[in-house]
Structure 1
């Protein structure tokens, strides 16, 4: 069960705003309501030094909830895809630095949240990676554009297209995260970063952040086009197969005969 009805805790701790995704039973995959709550938190963070984005229960975030893809409602998925786009953009548009505090798996859209954040600190047990083509989707909200700037084009394509998993130390070497700390020491490390940020001018930090969004801003039109493509593909055979395979904990078969749920014979 979630610790918050909305699945997201938003609380002020000292001079920082903490946004905690709290749906551990599904590895903190977010639904529309959760995405909207996070968007509001990032957009309204004007009287704090920084925002910390983290996950509860041993995971960071698994992106959008895949249970909505197996039997998709086009209207609901359109809202979720659009909210996901608004969420990553809200992180980049937030007037304060955003720190991803990663303890556990950052997968799929969760990995793209790390890409969107200004800084990222991870525990040694954390893992990173995309899931798109493996689950009948594509990572169009940062992994196929901005992540190339962060870790290099070849490595970004490897992560986005092959859906491999990477350790925290590998993520550090690639440049996806800023620091890796021992398990159990994440809060202390985040406090250290927040203390450093507290010594700086909020006004000029915001100017520096806005200016550093050059590559993100250049990629925004491509991200929007990517979301539009995903919306047009809602209900495709590959989407259904990938999502259902994930939920059923089996390997997807994107090239085999498709089954009509009302039929007993392969088509």
Structure 2
């Protein structure tokens, strides 16, 4: 099975995450494949990221976190940041076609994308503190610019799940459509982009990265803290409870 499916569709390059058995959660090689696909897109008018099997993306794969390996975890963290940076530095607008659950790093992927259209059945939310992690590459910083600091902290700290309509009300997505209209709506958005100057759309996009670029120190510091917490009791319990589908039993505050 190919983890990432690439399709040229008219004026857009579609990137489809293809690990439905784990809700399209990515490991380091899968994140690298998405990043590579984003790097050579200058001949298109837009790039679309979506998922297969009724899910958008569940973020980083948690399979081995109950017994974490330092090197592999460093690789996953770094590959996540490279992926989100690739979305932001891609010369063409990147559209999230959110066809299902966008959770954890999947929600941060929506934050990183320039535009987002959600199917009505899609859901959104962060999972970090619930699974022994923290969403430091978008949700704790840039998302506050997009939806407001208090709302962003609500998502990042309380780990609630939100409907597509609520995500739209908060400003996390541009539009919500019926599930069977998602891809047609995104195709229409791409068609709009084809009527614009690619050169000046690129200038507009790169100029809009002001807040993303300003948050780079926050990303680096946050990832450094996550690395130091690899193998902590909280990480092990968060991952184990997630895999066992039970409520976590984290240690009390020290």
**What is the TM-score when the length of structure 1 is the normalising length?**
0.93
Aligned partners of 2:215 and 2:34: how far apart in 1?
22
| 1:211 and 2:207 aligned | yes
Of 49, 65, 84 in structure 2, the residue corresponding to residue 53 of structure 1 is 49
| 1:73 and 2:69 aligned | yes
SS of 1:95's partner is coil
Per-residue CA deviations over 1:78-100 (Å, capped at 9, x if unaligned) read 11110001111110010000000
SS of 2:63's partner is helix
| 1:17 and 2:13 aligned | yes
| 1:151 and 2:147 aligned | yes
| 1:129 and 2:125 aligned | yes
SS of 2:154's partner is helix
**Contact kept in structure 2, 1:68 and 1:77, CA below 8 Å:** no
Of 127, 147, 164 in structure 1, the residue corresponding to residue 160 of structure 2 is 164
Deviation at 1:255, TM superposition (A): 2.5
Instruction: Mark the runs of 5 or more structure 2 residues left unpaired by the alignment.
Output: none
| 1:34 and 2:37 aligned | no
**What is the TM-score when the length of structure 2 is the normalising length?**
0.98
Aligned partners of 2:70 and 2:217: how far apart in 1?
22
Of 174, 180, 183 in structure 2, the residue corresponding to residue 178 of structure 1 is 174
Runs of 4+ in 1 over 3 A off after TM superposition: none
| 1:237 and 2:233 aligned | yes
Deviation at 1:254, TM superposition (A): 0.2
Per-residue CA deviations over 1:28-82 (Å, capped at 9, x if unaligned) read 0001111000111112111111100000000000000001211111111111110
| 1:43 and 2:39 aligned | yes
Which one has a bigger Cα radius of gyration?
1
SS of 1:19's partner is strand
SS of 1:20's partner is strand
SS of 1:59's partner is coil
Aligned partners of 1:10 and 1:70: how far apart in 2?
32
* Match runs of 1:187-206 below 5 Å: 187-206=183-202
Instruction: Mark the runs of 5 or more structure 1 residues left unpaired by the alignment.
Output: 257-267
**Contact kept in structure 1, 2:14 and 2:47, CA below 8 Å:** yes
Partner of 2:108: 112
**Contact kept in structure 1, 2:118 and 2:175, CA below 8 Å:** yes
| 1:250 and 2:246 aligned | yes
